[in-house]
Amino acid sequence: MDYIIEKFSSLLNERLLYNDIRTTEDTIRYTFFASLILTEHIKPHEIILEYPHPGIINKEVDAYIPSVKEKQGIIVEIKYDSNTLALTNSSRTMKAGKIVNDLFRLAHFNIDPHAKKWMIYVTDEEMNGYFSNIKNGLNDFYSLSLRERLKIDKATYLAKL
């Protein structure tokens, strides 16, 4: 799976180096899918976009690649926040809340126990500062390095309350 992240980072950095190219959450998503196809030989038809969440009514995950035979599946939520320099603190809090909701959806996606759950978040310096601020209580998952993992369960949520 490290190859996916390495390829995704390389492709995304190449894209973001050209500031005049419009980048949206969809382009981040497609860049991630390209990295999957190039590194894991996943076929486009294996990627299910906006898959209905099995445990939360009227909610979806951004993408689901089911586990098949020896291939481990992937459940993905992708979020892209940019151009947030003019945001108020309440807007930053709302954006952070959307990330927590995405994490909640991932934690409760339980029909494929072998699949990895990935949250991909791309942002600018403003939200980076917000998530990195220890006072906001979100840096424990935000500051994870590439190979670090964080188990998110009921105990994690209750500890934040």
Q: Of the candidates 35, 54, 68, 69, which has an alpha carbon nearest to the alpha carbon of residue 110?
A: 54
CA distance 32 to 3: 12
3-state secondary structure of 63: strand
Residue reference for tokens 């190979």: 147
Strand, coil or helix: 48: strand
From 123, 124, 46, select the one nearest 78 (Cα to Cα). 123
DSSP letter at 111 equals: S
Residue ranges of domains in the chain: 2-160
**pLDDT tens by residue, the chain, 161 residues:** 778 889 999 999 988 887 678 888 899 999 999 999 999 888 999 999 999 999 999 999 999 999 988 888 999 999 998 765 555 666 888 888 888 889 889 988 999 999 999 989 998 888 888 888 888 877 777 887 777 777 666 665 555 54
Entry pTM = 0.82
Question: How many angstroms separate the Cα of 14 from the Cα of each of 8, 9, 124, 127?
Answer: 10, 8, 16, 22
